[in-house]
Structure 1
Amino acid sequence: MYDFDKAIDRRGTTSIKWNKQYAFGQKDGLLPFWIADTDFASVPEILDAIKERCDHPVIGYSEPLDSVYTAIQGWWERRHQWRPDTDWMLLSYGVVTGIYFTLNAVVPKGGKVLVFTPVYDPFFAAVKNSGHTLVDCPLDHKDNYYSINFQAFEEELKNGVQAAVICNPHNPIGRVWTREEMERIVELCVQYGVYLLSDEIHADFGMARPYTTAGKFETIYDRLVVYTAISKTFNMAGLGSSCMIIPNPELKQKISDSYDACWMFGPCDLAFTAMEAAYTHGDAWVDEQLAYLKGNAETVNSFAAEHMPRVQVTKHEGTFLMWLDMTCFGKSSGELTSILAKEYGLALGDGSHYGTQAEGFMRLNIGCTRDTLIKGLEQMAMMYDKYVK
């Protein structure tokens, strides 16, 4: 058994989540529920493996051993019933970096790239900064639930979209796309010759239903990249390690060449060590973490219903991020962010960063101890009583 109730003091470390308080207009004292890492001590076997590697006196230029790839393969087979070939794997620094270099490799400059919004805001930067045209395909939103508007999606593909960047489970709304939804996305991408870039970094946080990877649909293999990482699942974001799974060898080579052209080579040796240990020894820890996060999500739902009934909590199916409709306050997300920080000592994610239709929404990171979460919710209830009740 692991103790997810144990508070880890991250202040004074290099933690952006806890140290970058000036971003909210404060110098200190905020409870942070914003940037997407958790406050849980990671898997002991990962930390032990890193310590053991550091006992060797040289950490030089490195490349992964075969055992790293087989550990990744084993995890996907055990956890998600998909066995990707190790030859399909390309390790890199991060998912967003991988999307950027993929777009550089496969979509001509100015080409159209689609995202479903509201969505993780670095997607916008990856598309625009790689010289491509962003196509915003808003998700339908009804009764605190989001769904894909497949008619609008198909129309955009007809109009020349060359790549679709999706995330599953979807950040920030917490949807876990059903197998039928994933199948329809794949069918349309195949029909219109569109690359499917599937960010599956939150794959291990499916709560409401079995998670379905895009990798299960062989019809899209010629144009598919699946992006994974240990950063969210095992709270290892600081190592900058991820894995792209690319079934098409020619596509994989194009993306690899795109990296090499910028002298961007793989993660460091310590990251390789952490990846192998995580995917070999992390099952029980991940299961317990998921159970704890389900409890946190239930806490948010019940607390909001009792103390902030006009705050609409989006139905939560996955990730450790919850999506709150706080339009009842009658304020912009920026105004909510400021009030939360300056008056109530809380740092939440500004919803407007995730799409223009998300004004008045906020993202809440529940990857913390239950005690910390309840303290934050109590502060939010005080704000609700002042501004809404």
Structure 2
Amino acid sequence: MLSFISVPSALVLTTSALFLSSVSTAFAVTARFPGSLDVFRDATLSLSAGGEAICITGTVTVNVATSANQKLNYEDGASQLALTETIAQFLSANSSLPAQIYGGPAFVHGAFNISTKLCYPVGWSAKNLSKTVQFLIHGIGFEKSYWDFAKGYSYIDVAAAAGYPTFSYDRLGTGASDHPDPIRVVQSSIQIEIAHELIQSLRDGRIGGHRFDNVVGVGHSYGSIQSVGITVKYPMDLDAVVLTGLSINTNGFGVTFAGFNLAIANENQPLRFGDLPNGYLVTGSSISNQFGFFHYPDFDPKILALDEAAKQTLTIGEAFTLTSPIMPAPGFTGPVDVVLGEYDMSFCQGNCYTPGDQSLMVRPALYPAASNGSQAYIVPGVGHAINLHFEANSAFAHIHNFIKTNGF
């Protein structure tokens, strides 16, 4: 399922020391880390933003036997002029472009290096503490730091304070993970296969050395879409699922993608993404990010500036297969929690109470067999990127109440 390359303990300590600025600090952190260090490549140790969790960040290789991708009739070398026109045509009324682009199934396989982050609450013990791990999947424009963005904006800190280990990672094509062909390879289907392999390895104890009895999936936006896809294809992978920044209302998608003002990443951010092919895209500016992800004045402008500086890529392949995983998951019988920002633009067109409470519509549409422990919540004063608003901790508290109420 997963291939690991062991790292000598001396190297682990050396890289940890560099990351933490002193050898003595690295040894102190290592002494508190309750998991196995030698399954990660290029491993570093750190504390979460608020110091509630001790984390190991490193690369693992995920082997995907097969992924049912789509053949897309789109040229990777397209210019910014061609890209902008493609998006305009795709969003046009009665567009024939989707029929021209989608060319049927195209099966993909391979081994991919994925940057991961496994965090344990400080003082956590496998013998007498939670046997549940939270599996976190970030959305478009972000990487795994979305879950540990800054002190006071760290989902990982809140989870650790509640006693839960967390596992986050950079999706394929983002952050420190591999960036393969952005049209033929990096699509929704392969993201789901990678998540499945990682979940199975957490359950088997091949990541961190502990077998987790329960895995609770927590997604954001595109990460929530992938969580839905996991529960459709692999309904036994997750014991419970939390879908943040997702509804069944896609009326805001056209407005959001227009507002993103998508740009070729190697032109918009040449110092960061200059080596990537033209099929890797980013939002055009901090204005684009605010429009799609934030609600003013309910956020700190410094957080928006940090978000712009750290913004991540979206591929053409993902853009054209974005919603394909969204379908009913009748085989999933665990509890479902739907958490939406009141002013979510992508999934509510800026008002999650119109028409009706959008958080309440997901379960009957997608999860007919979900348990009675399912919940829903609209977070007041929050846009799409829930974790980056002043009221983020209101959402974090709700989610952990949901998890604990359901016995995990």
TM-score (normalizing by structure 1):
0.27
Q: Identify the structure with the greater helix proportion.
A: 1
TM-score (normalizing by structure 2):
0.27
Q: Identify the structure with the greater strand proportion.
A: 2
Larger RCO of the pair (alpha carbons < 8 Å, separation 6+): 1
